[in-house]
Chain A
Amino acid sequence: MRLVTLLVVFVVSSALGYRVIRQVPPLLHTPLMSGMNAISGVSVLGALTATAAALATGNRLLGALAVVLAMVNVIGGFVVTDRILKKFRAKR
């Protein structure tokens, strides 16, 4: 039952995302990509949950590594996107 719910969430989000992202003009394709890139670091949520529940030390360390990598992705992605977007100006 839960699997079905998640599948519905997956399909609905993909469709909504597709509709919204199609509106982004080619001019902004790089910041769109780096911004989406940052969002893919959302797996930090999964890494936190799994690691918090893990008992074995090895698994906890592996999980902590996953948290570090995902966080680099999130913060790095958003800050880079911010830097790129600030450069787009209509006139000086």
Chain B
Amino acid sequence: MHVWIEILLGAAILAGIRLMSKPETAVQGNRLTALSLLTAVLLLLWRDNILPQPILLAALATGAALGLVLALRVTMLQMPQMVALLNGLGGAASMLTVFVAVADNTHTPGLAGLATGGLAVAVGGVTLSGSLVAAAKLHRLLPQQPIRIPFTLPRTSAALILPFLLMLLLHGQTGSESTMWMLLLAACALALGALLALPVGGADMPITISLLNSMSGLAASTCGFVVDNAFLVAAGAIVGASGFILTRVMCGAMNRSLMQVLTGATVALPPSPFPLPPSPFLKPAAHAAAFDPVESLLEAKSVVIIPGYGMALGEAETQVRDLYELLAGRGADVKFAIHPVAGRMPGHMTVLLADVDIPYDKMIQIDAINPEFPRTDVAVIVGACDVVNPAANTAVGTPIYGMPILRAHQAKRIIVCNADTKPGYSGIENPLYQQGNVVLLPGNASSTLHQLLKDLQSRISRR
């Protein structure tokens, strides 16, 4: 490819991402990016004289058809595992490509070629197995709880160092010997990816997915070094940067380091080392009388709805939308409070809400919504626990200490539609449940909200 065309296509990708920073232009941005990438593929077909090679054209068509079917059939609920799966495929493709490039090379690859090739195989392999384990967890083929592997830290670090040592050993070997080393390297990388993803629990998934996203980009970029394609290096690097930013944002939103996540050290072991003293105030049963949820919702001028993973789990988005429409239709100011790590991937809640036609200008991020809670008449929590747990401010030494939370506990009245009052993923009790201005509506969020909506409607018609 001519260097100027490559630069032009790279600039088009960046312009596309820039358009993706605003909801109004994001669709065009994504299409521009897609168009640039497909143009690069077409140019390569012509440059490398691939058109007369039916096997490659068939492979392109098969992949495109499979991708299209997969993308059109997946539901918004399955999006986290879809993203994880696609990450893994990207890693696999990079790894296989390097294999082919090294194995079919008649001359001995130089040190730089072997080093970049080894790196691409290592990163691609970790991405592949890590993504498949993550996707299996998200699809509930594997348990969502962290799978603790004894001596994780020494093992994973050994698995990290070993491939790099091997990579150095690779230098000076002949083509077929290099392939042998590469195979061993791939096996180590695949084992490492699984070792890294297995200890990660459900609520830490946003961090893991972001990290794997970054790695799939790095795998592509290193692959570009091997096949000497500058455009591939550039595009892969952009993806790497994006994943890096997301990983940092997610870690910040959970107040934990990447190392803690990868070693599964983010969940309190039962029993919780810092149990809260049992409440001397009200027992959950007595809460029902704290206030009438139906009446207070009908009177409320400002309502903030806080969705969490429980909303996705209970498939309660439709009921949440109905509640929003009913209250907004009566003139109340209804907003949604979005925590960056609510759910299983970055931005999970906004996608679920957008899927049921909630306008995006009603989805307010944590920093903007928090000052509003003290003047909020009713906060409705739907399947969220840790992200609204005030213990994050006080319980020193627990996994959630220091995590930025949505300050729902400051609202005048709080309605909690959670499955139960058990601690969330972190294993830390939530003192919010014991506040006097809280009504608990335990159970599956969609049936609880369905009942609440029925009560609201019958109360309205009786007036």
A residues whose Cβ falls under 8 Å from a Cβ of B: 2-3, 5-6, 9-18, 20-56, 59-60, 62-92
Contact = CB atoms under 8 A, between A and B. Distances in A.
Contacts of B351: 30-31, 84, 87
A28 B40 CA distance: 26
A88 to B, nearest CB: 4
A2 B241 contact: no
Q: Is the interface of A mostly helix, strand, loop or mixed?
A: helix
A52 B59 CA distance: 12
Interface residues on B, range: 35 or more
A50 B230 contact: no
A84 B350 CA distance: 10
A48 B33 contact: no
Contacts of A30: 79, 83, 345-348, 350-351
B76 A21 contact: no
Given A10-B234, A39-B33, A48-B56, A24 B17 contact: yes
Contact of B347 (A13, A33, A36): A33
- Looking at A38, A42, A43, A65, the one whose CB has the most chain B CB atoms below 10 A away is A43
Q: Is the interface of B mostly helix, strand, loop or mixed?
A: helix
A72 B67 contact: yes
Contacts of B210: 33
B66 A68 contact: yes
Given A27-B23, A87-B354, A70 B90 contact: yes
A48 B48 contact: yes
A55 to B, nearest CB: 6
Interface of B: 10, 13-14, 17-18, 20-21, 23-24, 26-27, 29-31, 33-34, 37-38, 40-41, 44-45, 48-50, 53, 55-56, 58-60, 62-64, 66-68, 70-72, 74, 76, 79, 82-83, 86-87, 89-90, 92-94, 96-101, 103-104, 112, 209-210, 213, 216-217, 219-221, 223-246, 249, 338, 340, 345-348, 350-351, 354-355, 357, 359-361, 363, 365
A41 B89 contact: yes
A57 B43 CA distance: 25
Contact of A75 (B58, B64, B238): B64
